[in-house]
Structure 1
Amino acid sequence: MAVSSELEGLQDVEPSRFIAFSFPNPLLLLDHASDPYAHGGHEFLRVAVLDHSSPHPSPRTAAMLVPAGRHRDWIFSTRAGHLHLLLASRSQCSHLSRLILVGPELSAPSPSRVVVVAAAARPDPDPAHARLLPLLLALCPRAAFGGDAIPDVPLLSFHDDLLRLAPVKVVAGPVVGEMVVEDVAVDCAPRSAELRRRLRFKRMPFLVQTQVRLVRQLSPGDSLMLDALDEVGGGSLQPEVGGELVQPYLQAMAAGLAVIAPSMDESFRLGGKPRCLCAGIGGGALLMSIRMGLQCDVLGIEADGVVLDVARSHFGLVEDEFLQVRVGDAIQMIQDFAHQGDPDMNFSAIMVDLDSSDAICGVSAPPLEMTKESILLASRTILHRDGAFILNVIPPAADGSFYKGLIDVLRHVFSELYEINVSNGENFVLVATVSPVETILADSSGSVLTKLRKLAGDFLEHITRI
């Protein structure tokens, strides 16, 4: 049988190999309290195995239970999500080269409206782990049994900040593929929980493309906002637009404008509006914030027209005289603008929020093409003499030299370089200026800086020259 030959091949670690199969559920014999899927009564479980390279001579195997109710979530049901889980799990299990995911089959029903995903800690010792252990040992590579030792296969835990989750809409675009709009309740402890709407792509399910707060349209007699936690996915919830940005890396990108705040203030004093080019739109949160919060003239470029439709219909993106969008390749458009020499294409800031489409390396940004010197030179060409190039960066986990190389080429092309560490373990924001900057935040009374503090939180204080 095909499955049998695949399983036989698991005796060795083969980087990038991914297989999934059904297996009779050994957890059915557990008592209700110990069974992580007690309400499902699943006769079979889906078992997925992914290998990834490890420099250690004795690579390890670990397993993870899919959180109840989330077995169809792309984080747990796709190879791309599985890879990110494996890479992220190396903080719990060093030298991890094989991760086994165990959960309900994808055909099993899942809640269609509100899913409670806050998981209690597993008991110690864990009866579920004991019941799964024979299967997990059978899926270990033979190298793990060196010296007749029985390998330790830990059962890792998954935690995120979600309390509730409800899919709103799944659509597919010609460029990014499938995407999901979902309403979530987020644990913001020690502050109160928040309701948010977010957009994710199937090709990189861990990366939240856009996230905005939801507000409830109250009618006479309505209960408090907190009660809407039980209405996630309900029609009374609408996106909040133009206010403080939710995602920390977007706050940091907005904060990068502080480097050119005096020049922007001067534009306003002369009766104009600073122009910002946003490469990558997602749900449009950044565009709406700098349009409404800073009163800038914004041009957004998005590769996928379906993403734009979703931004308009579900995230509150509204185009007007000073917020326009185009569908196309942002990198190619930057080159075209530079080649044409159009005086109308002279920007105070270019803000790049593009992720790599190569999910095999995990989440990373920007695409390698964006880091080429020729593209950066084209970007500088269409910037104002006091302009700034602001770049969201997620260094790929597999390439430790990427970030240093990017810094080197930016220093070569631009005059000065600044960094904002988002401190989330992933994102950095780099700000490169066309001309030298005298002093950042020297005059904190400026109009732009005052408005930026409302949009960008504390990130204005975290700008460092490098």
Structure 2
Amino acid sequence: MMTTPIQPFTEIDPGKLEAITPSQFLTFTMPHPIHLHRLLRVAVCDSPLANADDSSPSISVVFVPKNRETDWNFCTESGHMQLLLKLRVSRLILIGDLPPHQGPSIYKLPPVSQTAEKERLLNELKPLMIPLLPKSIFTSDNGLRKIVFLTAVEDAAYRVTVAKVASPIVGEFLVEDVELVGFSDRNKQLRRRLRFKRMPKVIQSQALLVPIIGDDEATTQTDLESLRNIESATFEPDTRVLVHHYLIAMVSCLSLIASHLAQFFRPKALCFGIGGGVLLSFLDTQMKFEVTGVEIDPMVIMASTFHFGFNRLNSIRLIIKDAIETIQNFPNREPPKVEKFDVIFVDLDSSDAKIGFCAPPQEFCKKHVFEGLRLLLDEQGGLIMNVVPLNKVFYETLVKELKEIFHKVYEIDVKNADNFVVMAIVSPPSFVTFEYLFLNKLKSLIPGTYWNSVVEL
């Protein structure tokens, strides 16, 4: 998704900034107030949900971290829109250095700037903000006092782009290796991540990243930059351990149908949405499920195979098709070969950045889709969904429709960006004497973070 062309501020019609205009997006340059030889890039983004007649609009000014000017979060319209919707403001003003023509493939967290320098920049910028504010913000009080000034937080101490892929279906996406901030030298946390340009603030998939050093070399270094400088070093994702919190919560929900799953040597799982394939790999290799995955984009499957080690043993059946179409026309759905699954996982999200991040997509959350999923489940099976609701009404409607189709509905609040995991079971669980074997296995593989967080809705 391309941004609006950058123009000098002097060429912007001031009338466009005097009022909130839903979905308006403008970018322009202005001189840096301290380093006069440099230019600042400024973006003004108005919420699609805003009321143009709002007499008290909310405004946030966000400073782009140094050296991240070319990151999708800060140079694409979709990135701006996601940030605005997350902050829930009427107008977002984004300020940063003018990005170079070619973005770096490596990012390193710069040293923390001196407080005095930050304060000086903020004080110099405040008067320059006045032309960027809607007239309605100025009352008897100083309108500038109503503005929230923020600096974007970075969770990566070091990040390198491993691959950039262009897909005609999901658009451009990245595979990145990342070292997380906030960990000691002895306990560095490394991750491999998948990110889509259409939803730049969302980490679609992430896995534990393990460095492999040749026998002829030894090192005490644990940071990603130093490890990458070792000639023999390679990096492998480890999908035997889940690190994405919502995936941990999704797998924890299997405890609700443990009595059913314990009856099978290899229970059957159907997964809508593959991403990096981390969940499917975990179910296949660690939980010993017979796994079927549904993904519309073959380029995503290719990236997950090459960069996340997905399905290297060809033990996972793949269906390359749209999720809703697959539900409606599932293979072997007609008698006498009706295929049933013990659990269905749904991990799909919206492709429209202007409505905000939404999972599952609105078109998926329909009664006839849930009824189709119900028909694919065993009578003791369960449906597990990653849910990031657009709003309260979206969530309440989703739960209501599930309750009309399934026996009971449960929730885990992931407490991460309004993320919930919802599970619906087809019928009351029936106790079997050896279900503890499945539960013990599950608890040995999954941290206990969410074991006591399941609540019935």
Distance 1:442 1:26 in 2: 72
Residue 415 of structure 2 is matched in structure 1 by: 423
Matched residue of 1:263: which SS? helix
Match of 1:354 among 318, 339, 348: 348
Residue 294 of structure 2 is matched in structure 1 by: 301
Please say if 1:230 is aligned against 2:223. Answer: no
Residue 81 of structure 1 is matched in structure 2 by: 79
- Residue type of the alignment partner of 1:296: F
Residue 34 of structure 1 is matched in structure 2 by: none
Moved over 6 A (4+): 441-444
Contact persistence 2:55–2:137 (CA under 8 A):
no
Matched residue of 1:390: which SS? strand
- CA 120–413 in structure 1, closer or farther in 2 if over 3 Å, else same: farther
Distance 2:329 2:221 in 1: 48
Matched residue of 1:445: which SS? helix
Q: Report how far residue 99 of structure 1 moved.
A: 1.3
Q: Report how far residue 457 of structure 1 moved.
A: 4.3
Contact persistence 1:254–1:456 (CA under 8 A):
no
Q: Could you give the per-residue CA deviations for residues 281-331 of structure 1, whole angstroms, max 9, x where no partner exists?
A: 000000000000111110111111111111011111025453122211012
Q: Could you give the per-residue CA deviations for residues 74-99 of structure 1, whole angstroms, max 9, x where no partner exists?
A: 11111221122223335xxxxx3111
Stretch deviating more after TM superposition (131-140 or 100-109):
100-109
Residue 4 of structure 2 is matched in structure 1 by: none
Q: Report how far residue 243 of structure 1 moved.
A: 1.3
Residue 459 of structure 1 is matched in structure 2 by: 450
Please say if 1:136 is aligned against 2:123. Answer: no
Contact persistence 1:198–1:210 (CA under 8 A):
yes
Q: Report how far residue 112 of structure 1 moved.
A: 3.2
Please say if 1:380 is aligned against 2:371. Answer: no
Q: Report how far residue 415 of structure 1 moved.
A: 0.8
Match of 1:177 among 171, 183, 197: 171
Distance 2:274 2:188 in 1: 27
Residue 408 of structure 1 is matched in structure 2 by: 400
Q: Report how far residue 379 of structure 1 moved.
A: 0.6
Contact persistence 1:118–1:162 (CA under 8 A):
no
Distance 1:367 1:65 in 2: 31
Distance 2:72 2:344 in 1: 32
- CA 301–225 in structure 1, closer or farther in 2 if over 3 Å, else same: farther
Distance 1:417 1:443 in 2: 25
Matched residue of 2:274: which SS? coil
Contact persistence 1:395–1:402 (CA under 8 A):
yes
Matched residue of 2:222: which SS? helix
- CA 154–390 in structure 1, closer or farther in 2 if over 3 Å, else same: closer
- Residue type of the alignment partner of 1:162: A
Structure 1 unaligned regions, length at least 5:
30-41, 91-95
Q: Report how far residue 7 of structure 1 moved.
A: 3.8
Distance 2:347 2:377 in 1: 17
Contact persistence 1:302–1:327 (CA under 8 A):
yes
Distance 2:433 2:449 in 1: 16
- Residue type of the alignment partner of 1:244: V
Contact persistence 1:11–1:141 (CA under 8 A):
yes
TM-score by length of structure 1 reads 0.87
Distance 2:253 2:41 in 1: 45
Stretch deviating more after TM superposition (134-143 or 449-458):
449-458
Distance 1:233 1:62 in 2: 40
- CA 156–226 in structure 1, closer or farther in 2 if over 3 Å, else same: same
The aligned runs of 1:274-353 (5 Å cut-off) are 274-320=267-313, 322-337=315-330, 340-341=333-334, 343=337, 345-353=339-347
Structure 2 unaligned regions, length at least 5:
1-6
Stretch deviating more after TM superposition (203-212 or 313-322):
313-322
Residue 436 of structure 2 is matched in structure 1 by: 445
Q: Report how far residue 103 of structure 1 moved.
A: 1.2
Residue 208 of structure 2 is matched in structure 1 by: 213
Matched residue of 1:291: which SS? helix
Q: Could you give the per-residue CA deviations for residues 250-305 of structure 1, whole angstroms, max 9, x where no partner exists?
A: 1111112221222111012xxxx211110000000000000001111101111111
TM-score by length of structure 2 reads 0.89
- CA 131–15 in structure 1, closer or farther in 2 if over 3 Å, else same: same
Contact persistence 2:68–2:107 (CA under 8 A):
no
- CA 425–302 in structure 1, closer or farther in 2 if over 3 Å, else same: same
Give the number of aligned pairs: 442
Distance 2:299 2:440 in 1: 34
Stretch deviating more after TM superposition (294-303 or 55-64):
55-64
Distance 2:253 2:392 in 1: 24
Stretch deviating more after TM superposition (237-246 or 120-129):
120-129
Please say if 1:105 is aligned against 2:98. Answer: yes
Q: Report how far residue 23 of structure 1 moved.
A: 1.7
